[in-house]
Amino acid sequence: MSNILHVSASCIESIHDEPATLSKPNKRWHLAFATIYCSRALYSLLKKKNMKTSKLPLSTPSFVVLNVEPHLAFSNIEHTSLTEVVKKKNLDQLREFGGVAGVADALKTDAKNGIHGDVEDIARRQEVFGSNTYPRPPAKSFFYFVLEAFKDLTILILLACATLSLGFGIKEHGLKEGWYDGGSIFVAVFLVISVSAVSNFRQNRQFEKLSKVSNNIKVEVVRDGHRQQISIFEIVVGDVVCLKIGDQVAADGLFLDGHSLQVDESSMTGESDHVEVNCHHNPFLFSGTKVADGYGQMLVTSVGMDTTWGEMMSTISRDLNEETPLQARLNKLTSSIGKVGLAVAFLVLVVLVVRYFTGNTEDENGNQEFNGGKTKANDIVNAMVRIIAAAVTIVVVAIPEGLPLAVTLTLAYSMKRMMADQAMVRKLSACETMGSATTICTDKTGTLTLNQMKVTKYWLGKEPVEDSSSIDTHVLKLIQQGVALNTTGSIYRATSGSEIEFSGSPTEKAILSWAALELDMDMEAIKQNYSILHVEAFNSEKKRSGVLMRKTADNKIQVHWKGAAEMILAMCSSYYDASGSIKSLDDGERMTFEQIIQGMAASSLRCIAFAHKQIPGEEQEISEGRQKLKEDSLTLIGLVGIKDPCRPRVRKAVEDCQYAGVNVRMITGDNVFTARAIATECGILRPDQDMNGEAVVEGEVFRNYTPEERMEKVDKIRVMARSSPFDKLLMVQCLKQKGHVVAVTGDGTNDAPALKEADIGLSMGIQGTEVAKESSDIIILDDNFSSVATVLKWGRCVYNNIQKFIQFQLTVNVAALVINFVAAVSAGEVPLTAVQLLWVNLIMDTLGALALATEQPTEELMKKPPVGRTEPLISNIMWRNLLAQALYQIAILLILQFKGESIFGVSEKVNDTLIFNTFVLCQVFNEFNARKLEKKNVFKGLHKNKLFLGIIGITIILQVVMVEFLKKFANTERLNWGQWGVCIGNAAASWPIGWVVKSIPVSEKPFLSYLMW
């Protein structure tokens, strides 16, 4: 019996002792397993006991035994505790877990080869630990934008007028006839709101999509011994992530391996000082922080919402409603025009009210509308509602609310098209600012060149080496050590027969490829024979990297350096000659090496030097203890020349920019000879341009100029070589002070200050670090300078499209205001009703914006100088065009208003329809004129813009429907063919008028120079 009790107790214990980390399905399996196990144990004990007391056969059990084994792969570690250990930087608790190695073991991760990474492994880890995503605040619904549209005061007033008109109309004429006036205003308002809401909703969705794309960062991980790039969202707990300068840490984790790793935690703590991360004192890494220096590998311990960054980011939504400078200027313009419209509407209101109460107005039957006390209260209220609706509608037409909509449409359209042209816009304002750019400061590597590097030359001593077999064995081993141990790249080969894969920066890959394929370097074997003591990682300021290593066999210590050839040469006092002998490096020899370096650079080769030094025994302990590597008395091992060919079509892109009045400057870390050769090849520098030495400078020289000298010489500089990020920033600041609008390309972490300082920061999508991308306004997805030129073209297109729409809209505004005001004052009535004006508003605001805001960039845009950022939005050319068209429309419509009935022998209702139809058709024809601000041929390229033609077609069809079929809704009368011909003829006259007007020259001084739009 005691045995049975003991088994019962152990069973109950096993049921309760289930790991806390198990998911619900696994807990159920665990419970089932324990229950079945207990049942079998109790049953077997009872069976033994019964067999002793009775020999009768027992009945067959009425249950089926299942052998259930629950998955307890990660039962050795409590995930919640591990998450807290990292968040709180608790070293003591980490030691209880067995340190980083213990955590890796518990997470089933090989510290060197990473996780297996098969589909089942990833799915299991995501099920247990979660995925590396976090919930975003819900996107704004369509109804949100409908409500936003309803908040417009003029819309609310119109709705109130429509309600009153509907009520009084039904009361006076009955439901069948009385709903037309009020109902038609309701329908028109509903159309305006719907179009506005749909447009804003679609743009919001567009920006949300772009936000998702920009958040999808590529991260390098090791899985199954293979370095590979995956999306940040695919990272799982247990992954080994590779980190280098400029990377964003993708999840919370622990430091596994690396050197000189420093992290910028300012995004989390607000502290600007960099934090050193190492195995002993601080192995903790946090999602959202940036790698400031060094390189390393981390073990992921928490992802998604379990990270500190995830908790923080889930509460933050990206502000998609940023107001660009152009939108701000347009809002000011809208406000100014709106004030004029309000004044005119108020005058019309006063005039109509006065005329009504003084008995100067007549109804449809020719009777006086107001007869003092005899007039019914209902009639007075009806008349007042009609007058207020007319005045409010004038305000609706006068306020060009289509302008901000046009900007939004243009920016959204251009953002979408720019994405297809390999440019992702992060900040809307950059689209329009790019149109004003006067200078572009570009990197060389990867932007002007292909970034497909290959070692094409190797010099040992003063002799070029054609065949690797001729290299001395000792020197060959030194080269292999210098390449294999002083690198952030890696070599991977799945099987002995498969192709070798190289990873790292393009320069690293070129050197590794050369050493592995031509020098037969075995990277793994070399790494096993040496242990690395200290590393100085490469960055764009030092332009070199070094490593201190100890040989396992004899404990000898040596230092290896690799970097820019002239910098490494300056650190050397001796060199290896072709036979492997060490020779002293005197001034004459140094001059010879400098000429070799210059010769390679003049052939557009990037020159990299290798050097080393054996540390004497008495200095070994000192070297181990200190953090700085030996930088003097080195022995030069050799020089390699790396070819990075220029991109095809880059010369044409540079010439296009120069033709458009935009200066292209190259800022590079390469030496002055390589920089000059590449700049000449790309067309940035003419062969005869650097005769006086002012077009090409070195960063250090530029830095050492006095502020006055810099300001004097900066305009002449075309190439800056051997520049540091500080030199790039200095140049940007100087150019801005000189009044330039500066666009800058950058890919490194240290480029961030220059990218932020520039008017437009352009980061590189392939080689760019996350820090550079976050500091930029536009990401060039293919790292190609041609895409920079395309962005410039799109920037100008945005500005040009908005100017076209302003001209088109203001023509309508001026014409509608003048006609209604003159007619109200002279005749006491408004020829265009509320519904008709709302229809015109819909045509010009929404359909007009769509038609003109989606014009694609043309080559003509690149033949003009840049648009100054202080130049008025409405240029003299625009004033000339819009005033000519507006005056023509006012003249023809006023003639129709006062003489139309007698000229055409028609009734007042038909005459009003003629006025309405002519006015709308004038806008349709004027839309063609607005396509070209200066060119006389407004039809050029028309066949390419299908959307424009479609909108014109839709507008004409809807206008025919309004006039011919919606008589009561639009308050119109049917027109015969002759009357339609008159309307079309009057409207078509705007084409020859536009052609003639464009021949009139305009002055340079702004037409409204005293007004600040």
pLDDT bracket for residue 584 (50, 70, 90): very high
pLDDT bracket for residue 847 (50, 70, 90): confident
Residue 313's pLDDT is: 60
Q: For every residue of 437-475, which 3-state class applies, written as one string? A: CCEEEECCCCCCECCCCEEEEEEECCEECCCHHHCCHHH
The 10 Å CB-count burial string (b at 16+, else e) for 898-937 is eebbeeeebeeebbbbbbbbbbbbbbbbbbbbbbbbeeee
Residue 635's pLDDT is: 95
Backbone angles phi, psi at 201, to 5 degrees: -65, -45
Residue 58's pLDDT is: 38
The per-residue pLDDT for range 123-143, each reduced to its tens digit, is 999 988 888 887 766 777 888
Task: Please say if the pLDDT value at position 20 is more than 60.
Answer: no
pLDDT bracket for residue 897 (50, 70, 90): confident
Residue 198's pLDDT is: 79
The per-residue pLDDT for range 724-769, each reduced to its tens digit, is 888 889 999 999 999 899 999 887 766 788 888 999 999 888 877 7
The per-residue pLDDT for range 432-469, each reduced to its tens digit, is 788 889 999 998 887 888 888 899 999 998 889 988 88
The per-residue pLDDT for range 157-213, each reduced to its tens digit, is 767 777 877 776 776 667 776 676 677 777 777 777 887 787 778 767 766 776 677
Backbone angles phi, psi at 459, to 5 degrees: -115, 130
- Give me the numbers of helices (H) and strands (E) for the chain, helices first please: 37, 26
462: CB partners within 8 A, 6+ apart: 577, 578, 589, 592, 593, 596
Place of tokens 């920006």: 207
Q: Could you give the C-alpha distances from 548 to 482, 483, 534, 635, in angstroms and in order? A: 10, 13, 5, 15
Q: Nearest to residue 78, comparing CAs of 132, 18, 16?
A: 18
The 10 Å CB-count burial string (b at 16+, else e) for 245-276 is bbbbbbbbbbbbbbbbbbbbbebbeeeeebbe
Q: Nearest to residue 864, comparing CAs of 654, 664, 660, 658?
A: 660
Place of tokens 């205003």: 185
Average pLDDT, the chain: 81
DSSP β-bridge partners for residue 254: 284, 299
pLDDT bracket for residue 29 (50, 70, 90): very low
Q: Which of 443, 690, 751, 783 is catalytic?
A: 443
Residues in the chain: 1013
* Whether residue 293 lies in the annotated active site: no
The per-residue pLDDT for range 266-311, each reduced to its tens digit, is 766 666 678 889 888 899 999 888 888 888 999 999 998 888 777 6
Cβ–Cβ under 8 Å, residues 140 and 149: no
Task: Please say if the pLDDT value at position 887 is more than 90.
Answer: yes
Q: How far apart are CA 575 and CA 483, in angstroms?
A: 18
- Rounded to two decimals, the pTM is 0.70
Place of tokens 């209880």: 96
pLDDT bracket for residue 989 (50, 70, 90): very high
Residue 39's pLDDT is: 55
Residue 451's pLDDT is: 80
The 10 Å CB-count burial string (b at 16+, else e) for 175-199 is eeebbbbbbbbbebbeebbebbbeb
CA trace torsion 730, 734, 740, 743 (10° rounding): 0
Residue 397's pLDDT is: 67
Q: Could you tell me which residue, 621 or 283, shows the higher pLDDT? A: 283
Q: How far apart are CA 508 and CA 502, in angstroms?
A: 9
Residue 717's pLDDT is: 93
Task: Please say if the pLDDT value at position 991 is more than 50.
Answer: yes
Of all helices (H) and strands (E), which one includes residue 640?
strand 634-643
Q: Could you tell me which residue, 275 or 844, shows the higher pLDDT? A: 275
Residue 211's pLDDT is: 66
Task: Please say if the pLDDT value at position 826 is more than 80.
Answer: no
Strand 572-576 to 634-643 pairing: parallel
Q: How far apart are CA 502 and CA 492, in angstroms?
A: 6
Q: How far apart are CA 729 and CA 753, in angstroms?
A: 7
